[in-house]
Amino acid sequence: MSDFREGRPSLPYMPALDGIRAVAVTSVVLGHFGVPGFSLGGGFGVDVFFVLSGYLITRIILGQIAENKPLSEFYWNRFTRLFPPLLLVCTSLFLLPPSLLTNWDAFLNSFGALTYVTNWTRAFPTYGAPSFTAHTWSLSVEEQFYLAWPVTVYLASRWLPNVRTAIFGVTATSLIWFGLLIYINASVDHIYNGFDGRCPAILLGACLAALPNLKCPAPLAVVSFLAYLFMVLTQKWHPFAALILWTLTLPIIVYARDAASVGPLAKLLRLRPIIYLGVISYAVYLWHFPFYYLLGEKLHMGAIPTGILGISLTLILSVLTQIFVENPVRRLRYAIGPSSRQNTGCGIAIWTLLALAGGLVFFYGGFV
């Protein structure tokens, strides 16, 4: 769920991409809260996020390489963008009474989310796996991608005459592996939550970053968008459906990134309320599931009260998170000097890798 608002003129802000975020997060939230029509395939919104994230992140990386910026600055930017809101949500879990969530369970939920191992605790279920923060599995997938992909692209840009060769080659390899997972009858939990099962979606988006001049005619984008809505409303997630969804997302992104795009879909994605929902989509995603789990699974309030109250609280706290957490951190991001950002970014990358390893050892090493 990356963002073009990084303060770099070489990466212009594209409002329609926030429109895509809004559509995706709406599908996910309505699906989790069991809104009729979305409860079946709302999770496809996460697939859209993955493809879009692959495009945005790879374009940021290629831009930094072109400007001879160190990778450590990338990690600093990602950390200041993603970690503070996540830490806020995890900290809020300790405010719940022990009858709803003990401090130990709050710790397990927070530890799983903050060490980015939730996807693996869902792919291969283990005792103590997060519940209130189970939705952070997708953040775990992306964070694991952030650890590997920038280094891969950076090395490819140094060792290969054309970095596209590496991007396309890694993408093709990941798709072959995805097909192998299906062939060997890997569990749906593994394919749905595992990094290896989700990496193809992110890498397909990365391919778009390697094709900046690619255009998409408006009719193809509209048909793809309508097909996405059809799948959300009628299809349950399974690997083949996901592959179709990833393919449908590609022309929508190509169309949305083109400032010259016109037509009903372009106007829809650039509506101010839609754009704003896309801007706060990360906070919306973080807050919505704890409220769903609290109201629906713990308090058993019923579908309608859970949906109305949960979605309302989600939107309120998401706006507050953007105003009082995300915006101030974004303004302070460049308050420290370049060398400090780079040194801190390097430390963050190492810390994240160690945290990931520690989280896996903790949950699967018999410490829970």
CA dist 203 and 233 (Å) reads 26
Q: What does the buried/exposed string (b/e) look like for 252-272 if buried means 16 or more CB atoms within 10 Å of the residue's CB?
A: bbbbbbbeebeeebbeebbee
> Residue 7: pLDDT above 60?
no
CA dist 40 and 233 (Å) reads 7
Tokens 């963008």 sit on residue: 81
Question: Long-range contacts: 170-176, Cβ < 8 Å, 24+?
Answer: 170/203, 171/200, 171/203, 171/204, 171/206, 171/207, 174/199, 174/200, 174/203, 175/200
pLDDT at 6: 37
CB 231 within 8 A of CB 41: yes
Rg (alpha carbons) of the chain, rounded to whole number = 20
Q: Average pLDDT, stretch 206-231?
A: 96
Which pair of structure tokens corresponds to residue 228? 């996405």
User: Quick one: DSSP state of residue 213?
Assistant: T
CB 275 within 8 A of CB 18: yes
pLDDT at 2: 42
Q: Band of the pLDDT at 215, cuts 50, 70, 90?
A: very high
User: Quick one: DSSP state of residue 22?
Assistant: H
User: What confidence tens digit (pLDDT) does each residue in 251-308 have?
Assistant: 999 999 998 888 999 999 999 999 999 999 999 999 999 999 999 999 999 999 999 9
Tell me, letter by letter, the H, E, C secondary structure of 72-136: HHHHHHHHHHHHHHHHHHHHHHHHCCCCCCCHHHHHHHHHHHHCCCHHHHHHCCCCCCCCCCHHH
Q: Which segment of 5-14, 154-163, 210-219 scores lowest on mean pLDDT? A: 5-14
> pTM here?
0.95
CA dist 219 and 336 (Å) reads 47
CB 140 within 8 A of CB 118: yes
CA dist 257 and 250 (Å) reads 11
pLDDT at 368: 86
Side-chain half-sphere CA neighbours of 356 within 13 A: 21
Q: Average pLDDT, stretch 7-12?
A: 53
As a whole-number percent, the residues of the chain with pLDDT over 70 amount to 97
> Residue 312: pLDDT above 60?
yes
Distances 241 to 26, 139, 248, 275, 354 between C-alpha atoms, Å: 19, 21, 11, 27, 35
> Residue 10: pLDDT above 60?
no
Q: Average pLDDT, stretch 150-156?
A: 96
Q: Band of the pLDDT at 14, cuts 50, 70, 90?
A: very high
Residue type, 169: G
User: What confidence tens digit (pLDDT) does each residue in 324-357 have?
Assistant: 999 999 999 888 898 999 999 999 999 999 999 9
> Among 286, 221, 268, which Cα is nearest to 248's?
221
CA dist 46 and 297 (Å) reads 22
Q: Which segment of 8-22, 129-143, 233-247 scores lowest on mean pLDDT? A: 8-22
pLDDT at 5: 38
